[in-house]
Amino acid sequence: MSPLRAIAESLWHHRNDYSHIERVTARRAYELARCQSSVTVTDMPIYEPLRAKLNLPMGATILNDNHGAVIGRKALARKFYDRSDANAKLMLEEITREAIFEMQKRPLIKAEAVVGLDHELMLKACMITTVDDANNVWNWLHNFASYDEYKEEYEKSRVLPIQDILFVADPHWTCSIPEFKDGLVIFDPYENVVYNLGMRYFGERKKGTLTLAWTSGMRMGQVACHGGIKEIDFTTCEDSKYHPLKKRSIAFFGLSGSGKSSHTNSHDHAGTLPKGFSRTILHDDAFQIDLNDRICRVWEPTLFDKTDSRDLFHPDWQYCASSQNNAILTIDGKIRILAMDVRNQNGRCIFHRDLLGQGNYVNRCSFPHALCWLMKDETLPPVIMFANSELAIAMGATLMTKRTAAENVSQEEMKKLVFEPFANPFRVYELYKDCEGFLRVLEAGASCYCFNSGGFWSGINSQSKIPLNSSLRLSTAILCNELEWQPWSYLPGAMIPKPESVDLILPGYSKKYNPEEMADAAAYQQLLADRFRQRREFLQNSDLKQRPELLSRFVNALQIKS
């Protein structure tokens, strides 16, 4: 047991004759949250099946928690104990001991949840925080699964060689060290403990817990996925020609705004899936691939969604459990949530998965037929299939976004790509472990694709927009084996659709998105070469250096032909 784990365990088991740490149920956390200064009790009812399941009072309504300056995650505040040198470890140990000493002077509460809904992958998680942070506990208990609700299932679940997750939070923590003025998150991932200090945002609690869950799965040889996945059953199709396809799962990985949720949650791919199909969604944000059992498993029963596209009377509100950082209005005498990011950016709500359609979601699904990297890069055609596994994983490991003018950076900085391997900013272990894991997924039979969800080059400073419906149609074509492929001359190991096959399903596609013939070809080739140079340099400066043979394979796969 590491010192950080020992400090957290000691707090969890603390008691004396003066006070005790109250263990709260979801109902008790909800009741305490109603009294929290930042919380507004609305007149909008909590989704009834969830209310009943968590034993909340009849007529329980949605709570909205509005924060101050910080309304999102603070990646720069994260420190990793296991990666720190001896002096840094001593400092982090001192900070946590002092933080706990001060916390014990105030009323505290603790709660237990189950992370993971499949009986083969369930972890127990424990959170301890201040009593006036009850709304985050309430959110945490229904974002995952309250232990009181899932105790019987958890007790029957497979025994895993993994410690319980311990989560310590103190939103009132302050520190004189300038580096930590906006808060501090300390991970000890192989001991399954995290300290969240000086922060109010629930997303830090959710992703902190998921970070340890993903890492736990990785420690057991499974692949962590910050992505969405759904399964299509073709055996129910009206046309029997689709029946041999059986069941196929397709997974989407992409950064915010890439279309990950739009692809995952789309019911029928804009009407392009064959009539009579059946669809089930595992999740649109977090799952684990078990290579031994060839199964994908979900971590959460809910969706933590942005609310920027949901107006006052959007039908999704009926599935809502809680809200944060949204405006509040009185309408016809009722306190209601005004979302649409009117008050601030990143308004959020937790929705029950019934939003996806009752019976349309599962806790496990089949091994992925296809992995799809989503990124906005105008040098890439709308869809690529990878015939080379090293290239496929190298592209996932360099999943990218671009800086925007809103970031107030120079033109040179604007040209630089920002990489987030496999779209997972919550990976706390070495990148090469994910690369090796996804390679095993491909070796086990999955295919891999890249979707450009932005626009494709049509000349200097000009792009041909790639509509979402076109990408959805291409997803259907992949699932139904409708495309024939040919090599892309610029990138060995990459394949693009043959014109005669793709134009049948998207007329005019090959003319509009032809990467072999385009305006300002020399400028395009220069930009393409620069993008892939940045990809190679990113990998060469990553911890893949610890696996030189693997690094060499990836770098060689990212070579552009002039």
CATH code, domain with 181: 3.40.449.10
Asked if the structure places residue 501 within a domain, the reply is yes
pLDDT at 256: 84
Mean pLDDT of 317-327: 98
Structural domains counted in the chain = 2
Q: How confident is the model at residue 304 (pLDDT cuts 50, 70, 90)?
A: very high
Indicate whether 421 pLDDT > 70.
yes
Mean pLDDT of 456-480: 96
pLDDT digits (tens, 9 = 90+) for 124-168: 999 999 999 999 999 999 999 999 999 999 999 999 999 999 999
Asked if the structure places residue 11 within a domain, the reply is yes
Mean pLDDT of 206-218: 98
Phi-psi region of 341 (alpha: psi -120 to 50; beta: other; left: phi over 0): left
pLDDT digits (tens, 9 = 90+) for 69-86: 999 888 889 999 999 999
pLDDT at 282: 96
pLDDT at 366: 96
Give the domain-ending residue among 220, 255, 271. Answer: 220
pTM: 0.94
Indicate whether 404 pLDDT > 70.
no
Give the domain-ending residue among 177, 205, 220. Answer: 220
pLDDT digits (tens, 9 = 90+) for 368-396: 999 999 999 999 999 999 999 999 999 99
Asked if the structure places residue 153 within a domain, the reply is yes
Q: How confident is the model at residue 405 (pLDDT cuts 50, 70, 90)?
A: very low
Asked if the structure places residue 539 within a domain, the reply is yes
Q: List helix spans (H) across 82-201.
A: 86-103, 134-143, 147-156
**CA atoms of 284 and 250, how far apart (whole Å):** 11
Buried/exposed 307-320: b ≥16 CB within 10 Å, e otherwise: beebeeeeeebebb
**CA atoms of 258 and 267, how far apart (whole Å):** 18
Asked if the structure places residue 301 within a domain, the reply is no
Beta-sheet strands, E only, within 51-205: 61-65, 78-80, 108-118, 121-130, 145-146, 165-170, 184-188, 193-197
Asked if the structure places residue 91 within a domain, the reply is yes
The CATH number for 421's domain is 3.90.228.20
**CA atoms of 62 and 263, how far apart (whole Å):** 28
Contacts of 117 (CB under 8 A, 6+ apart): 145, 297, 298, 299, 300, 301, 363
**CA atoms of 216 and 127, how far apart (whole Å):** 17
pLDDT at 103: 96
**CA atoms of 304 and 544, how far apart (whole Å):** 32
More confident residue, 371 or 410: 371
Share of the chain above pLDDT 70, in %: 98
Q: Tokens for 443?
A: 């070796």
Asked if the structure places residue 545 within a domain, the reply is yes
Mean pLDDT of 447-461: 95
Q: Mean pLDDT for the chain?
A: 95
Indicate whether 419 pLDDT > 80.
yes
Query: Do 67 and 74 touch, CB atoms closer than 8 A?
Result: no
Query: Do 452 and 466 touch, CB atoms closer than 8 A?
Result: yes
pLDDT at 74: 86
pLDDT at 410: 66
Indicate whether 414 pLDDT > 80.
no
pLDDT at 408: 52
Asked if the structure places residue 290 within a domain, the reply is no
Q: How confident is the model at residue 20 (pLDDT cuts 50, 70, 90)?
A: confident
Mean pLDDT of 214-242: 98
- C-alpha atoms less than 13 angstroms from C-alpha of 205 in its C-beta half-sphere: 30
Amino acid at 146: S
pLDDT at 75: 82
pLDDT at 406: 45
Q: How confident is the model at residue 357 (pLDDT cuts 50, 70, 90)?
A: confident
Q: What is the DSSP string of 12-28?
A: HT-B-SS-B-EE--HHH
Give the domain-ending residue among 220, 255, 288. Answer: 220
Query: Do 478 and 449 touch, CB atoms closer than 8 A?
Result: yes
Distances (CA, A) of 233 to 44, 228, 360, 370, 447: 36, 17, 12, 14, 18
**Residue 82 is part of which domain span?**
3-220
**CA atoms of 477 and 320, how far apart (whole Å):** 34
pLDDT at 415: 73
pLDDT at 407: 46
